[in-house]
Structure 1
Amino acid sequence: MTPRLDAGQLAARFQSVFGAAPDGVWQAPGRVNLIGEHTDYNEGFVLPFAINRTARVAVRRRSDSTIRLLSTFGNQGLTTVDAGSLSRGTARGWTKYPLGVLWALQQRGLHVGGLDLLLDSDVPRGAGLSSSHAIECAVITAVNELAAAGLDTREMVLATQRAENDFVGAPTGIMDQSASLRGAAGHVLFLDCRSQDIRLVPFDADSARLVPLVIDTKVSHSHAGGGYASRRASCERGAGILGVKALRDVGPDDLDAAAGRLDPETFRRVRHVVTENERVLQAVKVLETAGPAAIGPLLDASHASMRDDFEISCPELDVAVEAARSAGAVGARMTGGGFGGSAIALTPAAAERQVRAAVGLAFAAAGYAPPEIFSVRPAAGAMRLA
């Protein structure tokens, strides 16, 4: 997604398309997960941050039940559906995400009725930066205000999760929408996925002279695919055999005993989740005491665990991580659900140019298509723009 219109431009485009001004313009950011992968649906801990790439929606409520959706990217054209007949089978492409939100709100007893919506976004699709949740969070923020629904952020998190799980068909947890709805500039979000409790942890990369670089491998992934679902099923199987509600309840000291009760593959999946939870807790302590430059080894260990135990990396991600480290990044790991997408490399500002060059050269040497590399910073969560 490359278009980027400001609020005034998007409102003007809306009026030209729909023949009337929108009721407002709202935005919600994508996210980078600093550490804590596949721990969210295991009721564990994650440490994401909202990024300065967003989905923006101009919205106007209608007096009838017609829903009209259009985006500034792609060639899908105008989608028109009736609010009373929303179903998973009728949604196509990006429209699954706003329609899923409206469906989930209907399941809560909130019938919004018709609306017109124009979407613009610069969160890359399929890059593991949660472009879909950015759309959903922008939409639910807009609808919550326009319909005077009175939902708090926790309720919006659960509604968008239901949209993902039961409408889109992606068995995701609550991390992505929590970061998009509850993020804050200059901070990472320490989230307990069991209680939804959060703590904002300072992440001042600028003061530490660090640049968080995202390396988009251009290997597209989908949470609705089989790999993600099979990993979640493995975790649920492991928890069931170990007799716990979720893998959150298994600690590092329990792993030796677990190895004797689980098949080798399930044990590796469990070991990743258990050790990843510990890495999140350690990362919070390190950030609060030593600062961001000291978390590099935790990022490296996280990537190794995802590559070897959870087996969700891919050759392009491994090349990106290794090239970034070799060129001076203090730590690097894949970020997101895996099977493609992006890596994050925490890079000294003085080494940014050489890290970018080294990754590009490594991709060329391996015969891979050039990656897109860009910096991000922790940004504010969903909000009204106009």
Structure 2
Amino acid sequence: MTSWIAPAKIILFGEHAVVYGEPAIAVPVASLKAEATVKPSTDGFKIIAHDMDAVIVRYDVSLIEEPLQRTLALLQQYTGKSLPDVEIHLRSSIPMASGLGSGAAISTALLRAVSSAMDADLSDEIVNSLVFEVEKIHHGTPSGIDNTVIVYEQPIFYVRNQPIERLSIARSFKLIIGDTGQKALTHVAVGDVRKLMETDPESAGKRVKAIGEIAVAARRAIETGKITDLGVLMHENHRLLQELTVSSPELDQFVEAALSAGAIGAKMSGGGRGGNMIALVTDDCAAAVANALWQAGAVHVFETTVA
């Protein structure tokens, strides 16, 4: 029995703007993970999805638009091999449709588990490209952030179609993640921003450009250990995302609650319209911020350290 694990991810800066060539910063969240365990099977290939009432999934090419099926199809196409006679037990602690990369993490763990059972040696680069193709089902026009940070399991400075740059963290910092519990469809928010870019290109384009400039400034702050500067940049980034109509009343409420409880900075994270927000905290205020988010209605509150 062998298990393959993929972490969650959180976007610090650059969401939505990254689709238009601007930079973004994202980090893995190791405390949340998807896991695929390989066991022998006497009944052909099957997936047992424990977080979906242990539903049994068998390969069916007619269901190619379903993410698990697309993952299996792409793997067979790339390797030229048939699926092995194994059971894949899938489990995930990552909330679905909340901006934490649950889809990419599940696809990554599944690809690595099945390719291992096939004796197919896939590089991180190949896994990344295959997961990106599956991400098109989830996001329509995916940025590539989710698959990249999850497959490589490292903090990254990401610009689409450019080489991945690993972030140098001069001083570790702590984030509190607050989950609204609202299931957000990223491709809808991405599509709405695209409409703004088409109908009001000057105004929307300025906001997108400004988000990219904030990501560049945030990289400098992270690489020089100026954590307080990050808080200011988070506030400005959130305001711009509000203006692009991708925040929500609940996300705004969580941001205000975190700031009132002493957070250095706070902003929505990911596609928006629900999902998660993040708060930059010190050890002294972390518990108070987490409690404030619970009181504001968070369904999950997570803590992670970026180092």
TM-score (norm 2): 0.89
Within the alignment, does 1:273 sit opposite 2:208 as a pair? yes
**Residues 37, 46 of structure 1: 8 Å contact kept:** yes
Task: Tell me which residue corresponds to 2:106.
Answer: 135
What is the letter of the counterpart of residue 333 of structure 1? Answer: K
Alpha carbons of structure 1 residues 141 and 81: separation in structure 2 relative to 1, 3 Å: closer
Task: Tell me which residue corresponds to 2:191.
Answer: 229
- CA deviations on 1:124-176 (whole Å, 9 max, x unpaired) are 122211111110111222234333444332322221111121x5563212100
Within the alignment, does 1:73 sit opposite 2:44 as a pair? no
Residue 292 of structure 1 deviates from its aligned partner by 2.8
Alpha carbons of structure 1 residues 100 and 145: separation in structure 2 relative to 1, 3 Å: same
Alpha carbons of structure 1 residues 203 and 103: separation in structure 2 relative to 1, 3 Å: farther
Unaligned runs of 5+ in 1: 1-21, 238-262, 364-368, 380-386
1:1-386 residue pairs with structure 2 within 5 A? 22=1, 24-52=2-30, 53-60=32-39, 66-75=44-53, 77-82=55-60, 85=61, 87-88=63-64, 91=66, 96=67, 98-108=68-78, 110-114=80-84, 115-165=86-136, 167-168=137-138, 170-184=140-154, 188-202=155-169, 204-205=171-172, 210-224=173-187, 226-232=188-194, 234-235=196-197, 237=198, 263-264=199-200, 266-308=201-243, 310-361=244-295, 363=296, 369-378=297-306
- CA deviations on 1:198-255 (whole Å, 9 max, x unpaired) are 22321643xxxx531001111111234x3333324555x4xxxxxxxxxxxxxxxxxx
What is the distance in 1 between the residues matched to 2:138 and 2:290? 35
What is the distance in 1 between the residues matched to 2:20 and 2:119? 33
- CA deviations on 1:101-134 (whole Å, 9 max, x unpaired) are 2222344463342442111111112221111111
What is the distance in 1 between the residues matched to 2:157 and 2:40? 35
C-alpha root-mean-square deviation of aligned residues, in Å? 2.5
- Secondary structure, in 3 states, of the residue corresponding to 2:284? helix
What is the distance in 1 between the residues matched to 2:116 and 2:52? 28
What is the distance in 2 between the residues matched to 1:141 and 1:196? 23
- Secondary structure, in 3 states, of the residue corresponding to 1:113? coil
- Greater C-alpha Rg: 1
Unaligned runs of 5+ in 2: none
What is the distance in 1 between the residues matched to 2:46 and 2:255? 42
Calculate percent identity across the aligned residue pairs.
24
What is the letter of the counterpart of residue 183 of structure 1? Answer: E
Alpha carbons of structure 1 residues 233 and 76: separation in structure 2 relative to 1, 3 Å: farther
TM-score (norm 1): 0.72
**Residues 174, 306 of structure 2: 8 Å contact kept:** no
Alpha carbons of structure 1 residues 69 and 317: separation in structure 2 relative to 1, 3 Å: same
**Residues 213, 376 of structure 1: 8 Å contact kept:** yes
How many residues were matched structurally?
305
What is the letter of the counterpart of residue 110 of structure 2? Answer: V
- CA deviations on 1:56-88 (whole Å, 9 max, x unpaired) are 001257799x53111222325222234xx2533
What is the distance in 1 between the residues matched to 2:49 and 2:202? 44
What is the distance in 2 between the residues matched to 1:175 and 1:346? 21
Alpha carbons of structure 1 residues 142 and 299: separation in structure 2 relative to 1, 3 Å: same
What is the distance in 2 between the residues matched to 1:337 and 1:149? 34
